[in-house]
Amino acid sequence: MTITKVLKKNKLMAIVALIYLAIFVFMPDKAAEAMGNSVYYLIEMVQVLPIIFLLTVVIEALVPKEMITRRLGAKSGFLGNILSLILGSISAGPIYAAFPISKMLLTKGASVSNVVIILSSWAVIKLPMLANEAKFLGVSFMGVRWVLTVIAILIMAWITEKLVSKKDMLITSTVVTDKQIVINHDYCIGCGICVKMLPEVYEMIDQKAHVKAGGIKSGDDAMILKTADKCPVNAIVAKEKGGAVA
């Protein structure tokens, strides 16, 4: 990979590094303080991310897709919402830790509204946090805020489901190698040829082809180009990451 490619892949990292560099030059004491402040969160990340990794592995390996679709999918109804609320509430770690788990559940069939519930309750509702809140702000304060928050989360989930389709969320394909696959769902007719050719990379969700999370591996490049070629409606486009269409 060239330097520009590395930079493009880590845009956010590059921006943050630049800001730090600038502060180190002009306000060295502030930069040191910011570094120090970050340490607490770095420790938290090291404690939490391995768990998240193991949990995504377990979900992928142990829980069949049909089960997630049935329990958390579009037809899971109110029980699905409650299950999502519980899943999010018993979690550990900051909201970014919820992203990999939610993404895994989404690609395995969870509905948009349930992903909203898991993300939101993961962020807000946590037992250690509730105990802390009750201690400093009183039990009734904590209780009322908890009830109102749960109601708000359910309403938010319902609105998001109406506004955002699953299509909008899965179109951002996962990039593992230099290749990136974009599937145009306006063209895709759901014929399933790509899934038959490369089941490790493609899957069918709501009769449209999707790229599996983390599905693209370095060895697949040639085969991916073949699937793009075989797609009867040319809905699959394989691109160089950040570059021209291959």
Partner 1 sequence: MDVFTLSFWGISLALTGVSLAKSKEKTFEAMKKSRGMMGNMLGEIIAIIFMIGLVLTFIPPESIKSVLGSENTFISSIIAAIAGSITLIPAFVAFPLVGSFVNVGASIIPAVAFLTTLTMVGIVTFPLEKKEFGFKFALVRNLLSFVAALVIAMAMGVIL
Binding residues for partner 1 restricted to 210-239, rule: CB under 8 A? 212-217
Q: Determine if 240 is a binding residue for partner 1 (CB under 8 A).
A: no
Angstrom distance (rounded) from CA 161 to CA 147:
22
Of the residues 175, 204, 223, 237, which one makes contact with partner 1 according to CB under 8 A: 175
**Cα–Cα dist 43/176, whole Å:** 26
Can you tell me which of 3, 36, 78, 186 binds partner 1, judged by CB under 8 A?
36
The dihedral built from the CA positions of residue 47, 51, 52 and 53, taken in this order, carries a sign that is positive
* Binds partner 1 by CB under 8 A, chosen from 21, 28, 47, 66: 47
Residues 181-210 contacting partner 1, CB under 8 A:
none
Tell me if 51 contacts partner 1 by CB under 8 A. yes
Query: Is 145 or 239 the residue whose CB approaches partner 1 more closely?
Result: 145
Considering only the stretches 57-65, 66-74, 219-227, 232-240, report the one whose residues sit in contact with partner 1 under the rule CB under 8 A: 57-65
- What is the amino acid identity at position 77? G
Q: Is 21 in the site for partner 1 (CB under 8 A)?
A: no
Smallest gap from Cβ 167 to partner 1, in A, equals 9
Please tell me whether residue 23 binds partner 1 under the rule CB under 8 A.
yes
